[in-house]
Amino acid sequence: MSAIDDLFSRLKAENRKALMPFLTAGDPNIETTAAVLGKMKAAGADLCEVGIPYSDPIADGPVIQASYQRALESGFRLEHAMQLGREHAAAVEIPMVTMVSYSIIYRVGLEKYVDQAMACGYRGAIVPDLLVEEANELSAICKDKDFSLVQLVTPTTPKKRQVEIANSSTGFLYYVSVTGITGERTKLPTDLTDSVSWLRGETDLPICIGFGISGPETAARLAPVADGLIVGSAVVRRIAENTDPNIAAETVSQFVGELRAAIDSTEG
Protein backbone atom coordinates (compact mmCIF):
# COMPACT_ATOMS: atom_id res chain seq x y z
CA MET A 1 0.00 0.00 0.00
CA SER A 2 1.37 3.41 -0.96
CA ALA A 3 1.61 6.33 1.45
CA ILE A 4 -1.28 7.99 -0.39
CA ASP A 5 -3.44 4.84 -0.13
CA ASP A 6 -2.67 4.65 3.57
CA LEU A 7 -3.59 8.31 4.07
CA PHE A 8 -6.98 8.03 2.39
CA SER A 9 -7.74 4.77 4.17
CA ARG A 10 -7.09 6.47 7.50
CA LEU A 11 -9.10 9.56 6.57
CA LYS A 12 -12.04 7.39 5.55
CA ALA A 13 -11.93 5.58 8.89
CA GLU A 14 -11.91 8.96 10.65
CA ASN A 15 -14.71 10.33 8.43
CA ARG A 16 -12.45 13.20 7.35
CA LYS A 17 -11.81 14.83 4.00
CA ALA A 18 -8.33 15.48 2.65
CA LEU A 19 -7.11 19.04 2.22
CA MET A 20 -4.32 19.49 -0.31
CA PRO A 21 -2.75 22.92 -0.86
CA PHE A 22 -0.78 23.50 -4.06
CA LEU A 23 2.55 25.33 -4.03
CA THR A 24 4.79 26.23 -6.95
CA ALA A 25 8.31 25.00 -6.23
CA GLY A 26 10.73 27.91 -6.26
CA ASP A 27 8.18 30.73 -6.23
CA PRO A 28 9.61 33.17 -5.52
CA ASN A 29 12.45 30.96 -4.25
CA ILE A 30 12.97 27.52 -2.71
CA GLU A 31 13.37 29.05 0.77
CA THR A 32 9.82 30.38 0.66
CA THR A 33 8.45 27.08 -0.64
CA ALA A 34 10.16 25.24 2.21
CA ALA A 35 8.90 27.73 4.80
CA VAL A 36 5.29 27.36 3.63
CA LEU A 37 5.54 23.55 3.47
CA GLY A 38 6.80 23.49 7.02
CA LYS A 39 3.56 25.06 8.28
CA MET A 40 1.10 22.91 6.35
CA LYS A 41 0.56 19.97 8.70
CA ALA A 42 -0.06 22.14 11.75
CA ALA A 43 -2.46 24.28 9.70
CA GLY A 44 -4.56 21.25 8.82
CA ALA A 45 -3.31 20.03 5.43
CA ASP A 46 -3.21 16.28 4.87
CA LEU A 47 -0.89 16.28 1.86
CA CYS A 48 0.72 18.88 -0.41
CA GLU A 49 0.97 19.25 -4.17
CA VAL A 50 4.26 20.73 -5.34
CA GLY A 51 4.09 22.19 -8.83
CA ILE A 52 7.13 21.76 -11.06
CA PRO A 53 7.44 24.98 -13.09
CA TYR A 54 7.19 24.45 -16.82
CA SER A 55 7.47 26.93 -19.67
CA ASP A 56 4.29 25.65 -21.34
CA PRO A 57 1.89 24.90 -18.47
CA ILE A 58 -1.22 22.79 -19.03
CA ALA A 59 -4.60 24.29 -17.99
CA ASP A 60 -3.04 26.68 -15.50
CA GLY A 61 -4.65 30.07 -15.08
CA PRO A 62 -2.83 33.42 -14.85
CA VAL A 63 -1.96 33.17 -11.14
CA ILE A 64 -0.16 29.84 -11.43
CA GLN A 65 1.31 30.70 -14.84
CA ALA A 66 2.84 33.82 -13.30
CA SER A 67 4.27 31.78 -10.41
CA TYR A 68 5.91 29.37 -12.86
CA GLN A 69 7.40 32.29 -14.75
CA ARG A 70 8.78 33.86 -11.57
CA ALA A 71 10.37 30.58 -10.53
CA LEU A 72 11.92 29.95 -13.95
CA GLU A 73 13.25 33.51 -14.15
CA SER A 74 14.90 33.03 -10.76
CA GLY A 75 16.75 29.98 -12.11
CA PHE A 76 14.52 27.08 -11.03
CA ARG A 77 15.51 23.63 -12.26
CA LEU A 78 13.99 20.21 -11.58
CA GLU A 79 16.89 19.39 -9.28
CA HIS A 80 15.77 22.20 -6.97
CA ALA A 81 12.45 20.42 -6.43
CA MET A 82 14.28 17.18 -5.74
CA GLN A 83 16.56 18.94 -3.27
CA LEU A 84 13.48 20.46 -1.62
CA GLY A 85 12.15 16.95 -1.05
CA ARG A 86 15.45 15.54 0.18
CA GLU A 87 15.91 18.30 2.71
CA HIS A 88 12.36 18.85 3.92
CA ALA A 89 10.04 15.87 3.22
CA ALA A 90 10.71 14.23 6.58
CA ALA A 91 10.06 17.46 8.48
CA VAL A 92 6.89 18.23 6.50
CA GLU A 93 5.44 14.95 7.86
CA ILE A 94 2.60 14.74 5.32
CA PRO A 95 2.84 13.17 1.86
CA MET A 96 4.00 15.40 -0.97
CA VAL A 97 3.18 14.81 -4.63
CA THR A 98 4.57 16.61 -7.64
CA MET A 99 2.39 18.23 -10.30
CA VAL A 100 4.60 17.63 -13.30
CA SER A 101 4.31 17.63 -17.07
CA TYR A 102 4.69 14.23 -18.72
CA SER A 103 7.25 15.79 -21.06
CA ILE A 104 9.54 16.34 -18.06
CA ILE A 105 9.06 12.77 -16.84
CA TYR A 106 9.68 11.44 -20.35
CA ARG A 107 12.84 13.51 -20.75
CA VAL A 108 14.25 12.25 -17.45
CA GLY A 109 13.11 8.68 -18.12
CA LEU A 110 9.96 7.16 -16.66
CA GLU A 111 11.49 4.79 -14.15
CA LYS A 112 14.35 7.15 -13.36
CA TYR A 113 11.94 9.99 -12.55
CA VAL A 114 9.89 7.80 -10.24
CA ASP A 115 13.00 6.47 -8.50
CA GLN A 116 14.43 9.96 -8.03
CA ALA A 117 11.16 11.39 -6.75
CA MET A 118 10.70 8.53 -4.27
CA ALA A 119 14.29 8.84 -3.06
CA CYS A 120 13.64 12.54 -2.43
CA GLY A 121 10.52 11.87 -0.35
CA TYR A 122 7.75 12.41 -2.89
CA ARG A 123 4.93 9.86 -2.76
CA GLY A 124 3.23 10.40 -6.09
CA ALA A 125 2.88 12.52 -9.20
CA ILE A 126 -0.07 14.34 -10.72
CA VAL A 127 0.48 14.32 -14.48
CA PRO A 128 -2.06 16.63 -16.17
CA ASP A 129 -0.98 16.06 -19.78
CA LEU A 130 -0.61 12.27 -19.75
CA LEU A 131 -2.96 10.75 -22.31
CA VAL A 132 -4.62 7.59 -21.05
CA GLU A 133 -3.60 5.89 -24.32
CA GLU A 134 0.04 6.48 -23.37
CA ALA A 135 -0.25 5.83 -19.63
CA ASN A 136 0.30 2.07 -19.46
CA GLU A 137 4.08 2.07 -19.04
CA LEU A 138 4.20 4.79 -16.38
CA SER A 139 1.16 3.32 -14.65
CA ALA A 140 2.83 -0.09 -14.40
CA ILE A 141 6.05 1.41 -13.02
CA CYS A 142 4.15 3.42 -10.41
CA LYS A 143 2.03 0.46 -9.31
CA ASP A 144 5.13 -1.70 -8.98
CA LYS A 145 6.86 0.87 -6.79
CA ASP A 146 3.80 1.99 -4.73
CA PHE A 147 4.20 5.48 -6.15
CA SER A 148 0.83 7.09 -6.84
CA LEU A 149 0.06 8.15 -10.41
CA VAL A 150 -2.75 10.70 -10.26
CA GLN A 151 -4.56 11.62 -13.46
CA LEU A 152 -7.21 14.20 -14.23
CA VAL A 153 -10.86 13.82 -15.19
CA THR A 154 -12.69 16.88 -16.53
CA PRO A 155 -16.39 17.72 -16.92
CA THR A 156 -16.08 17.10 -20.67
CA THR A 157 -14.26 13.76 -20.42
CA PRO A 158 -16.53 11.04 -21.93
CA LYS A 159 -17.71 8.57 -19.31
CA LYS A 160 -15.98 5.59 -20.92
CA ARG A 161 -12.72 7.53 -20.92
CA GLN A 162 -13.21 8.54 -17.27
CA VAL A 163 -13.28 4.85 -16.35
CA GLU A 164 -10.15 4.18 -18.42
CA ILE A 165 -8.35 7.03 -16.65
CA ALA A 166 -9.44 5.71 -13.26
CA ASN A 167 -8.19 2.22 -14.12
CA SER A 168 -4.69 3.49 -14.94
CA SER A 169 -4.51 5.82 -11.92
CA THR A 170 -3.47 5.11 -8.35
CA GLY A 171 -3.71 7.05 -5.08
CA PHE A 172 -6.66 9.24 -6.02
CA LEU A 173 -8.38 10.81 -8.99
CA TYR A 174 -8.13 14.55 -9.60
CA TYR A 175 -11.59 15.76 -10.64
CA VAL A 176 -11.48 19.12 -12.39
CA SER A 177 -14.57 20.99 -11.19
CA VAL A 178 -14.90 23.36 -14.16
CA THR A 179 -14.11 23.44 -17.85
CA GLY A 180 -11.17 25.73 -18.52
CA ILE A 181 -8.14 26.85 -16.56
CA THR A 182 -7.26 27.00 -12.90
CA GLY A 183 -8.34 30.00 -10.86
CA GLU A 184 -10.52 31.15 -7.99
CA ARG A 185 -14.28 31.07 -8.64
CA THR A 186 -17.43 31.78 -6.67
CA LYS A 187 -19.78 29.76 -8.89
CA LEU A 188 -19.34 26.08 -9.75
CA PRO A 189 -21.34 23.82 -12.11
CA THR A 190 -24.75 22.78 -10.82
CA ASP A 191 -24.26 19.21 -12.07
CA LEU A 192 -20.93 18.74 -10.27
CA THR A 193 -22.45 16.60 -7.51
CA ASP A 194 -24.14 14.25 -9.96
CA SER A 195 -21.00 13.96 -12.09
CA VAL A 196 -18.78 13.05 -9.14
CA SER A 197 -21.40 10.68 -7.75
CA TRP A 198 -21.52 8.80 -11.06
CA LEU A 199 -17.73 8.48 -11.16
CA ARG A 200 -17.66 7.29 -7.55
CA GLY A 201 -19.81 4.35 -8.64
CA GLU A 202 -17.22 3.38 -11.26
CA THR A 203 -14.03 3.38 -9.17
CA ASP A 204 -12.79 2.65 -5.66
CA LEU A 205 -10.25 5.45 -5.87
CA PRO A 206 -10.79 8.53 -3.69
CA ILE A 207 -11.91 11.54 -5.72
CA CYS A 208 -10.39 14.93 -4.99
CA ILE A 209 -11.84 18.08 -6.51
CA GLY A 210 -9.65 20.92 -7.73
CA PHE A 211 -9.87 24.08 -9.85
CA GLY A 212 -11.98 27.00 -8.67
CA ILE A 213 -11.87 26.65 -4.88
CA SER A 214 -11.46 30.23 -3.75
CA GLY A 215 -11.95 30.05 0.00
CA PRO A 216 -13.75 28.51 2.98
CA GLU A 217 -17.25 29.00 1.52
CA THR A 218 -16.42 27.10 -1.68
CA ALA A 219 -14.58 24.44 0.31
CA ALA A 220 -17.56 23.87 2.58
CA ARG A 221 -19.86 23.58 -0.43
CA LEU A 222 -17.71 20.94 -2.12
CA ALA A 223 -16.51 18.94 0.90
CA PRO A 224 -19.59 16.71 1.14
CA VAL A 225 -19.17 15.72 -2.52
CA ALA A 226 -15.48 14.82 -2.49
CA ASP A 227 -12.93 12.72 -0.65
CA GLY A 228 -10.58 15.67 -0.72
CA LEU A 229 -10.12 19.23 -1.99
CA ILE A 230 -7.16 20.73 -3.85
CA VAL A 231 -6.59 24.46 -3.50
CA GLY A 232 -4.04 26.10 -5.77
CA SER A 233 -4.50 29.63 -7.11
CA ALA A 234 -5.80 31.02 -3.81
CA VAL A 235 -2.66 29.73 -2.06
CA VAL A 236 -0.24 30.83 -4.78
CA ARG A 237 -1.76 34.31 -4.85
CA ARG A 238 -1.15 34.75 -1.14
CA ILE A 239 2.49 33.78 -1.57
CA ALA A 240 2.85 36.27 -4.43
CA GLU A 241 1.45 39.01 -2.19
CA ASN A 242 3.81 38.16 0.70
CA THR A 243 7.25 37.33 -0.66
CA ASP A 244 9.02 37.33 2.72
CA PRO A 245 9.29 33.59 3.53
CA ASN A 246 8.06 33.90 7.11
CA ILE A 247 5.16 36.20 6.27
CA ALA A 248 4.15 34.01 3.33
CA ALA A 249 4.23 30.93 5.54
CA GLU A 250 2.08 32.54 8.23
CA THR A 251 -0.40 33.96 5.71
CA VAL A 252 -0.86 30.64 3.90
CA SER A 253 -1.00 28.77 7.19
CA GLN A 254 -3.86 30.97 8.38
CA PHE A 255 -5.73 30.48 5.10
CA VAL A 256 -5.27 26.70 5.17
CA GLY A 257 -6.54 26.71 8.76
CA GLU A 258 -9.69 28.52 7.61
CA LEU A 259 -10.20 25.97 4.84
CA ARG A 260 -9.73 23.13 7.32
CA ALA A 261 -12.30 24.58 9.68
CA ALA A 262 -14.80 25.02 6.86
CA ILE A 263 -14.32 21.45 5.64
CA ASP A 264 -14.57 20.02 9.15
CA SER A 265 -17.79 21.94 9.78
CA THR A 266 -19.51 19.81 7.14
CA GLU A 267 -18.44 16.48 8.62
CA GLY A 268 -19.97 14.31 11.27
Catalytic residues: 49, 60
Contact between 171 and 2 under an 8 Å Cβ cutoff? The reply is: yes
What is the spatial distance between Cα 67 and Cα 132, in angstroms, rounded to a whole number? 28
Distance of CA 172 to the CA centre of its chain: 10
Sign of the C-alpha dihedral computed for residues 44, 68, 184 and 200 taken in this order: negative
Q: Collapse the DSSP code of 48 into the 3-class scheme (helix H, G, I; strand E, B; otherwise coil) and give the result.
A: strand
Burial class of residue 161 (count of CB atoms within 10 Å of its CB; 0-12, 13-18, 19+): middle
| 229 φ/ψ sector (left φ>0, alpha ψ -120 to 50, else beta) | beta
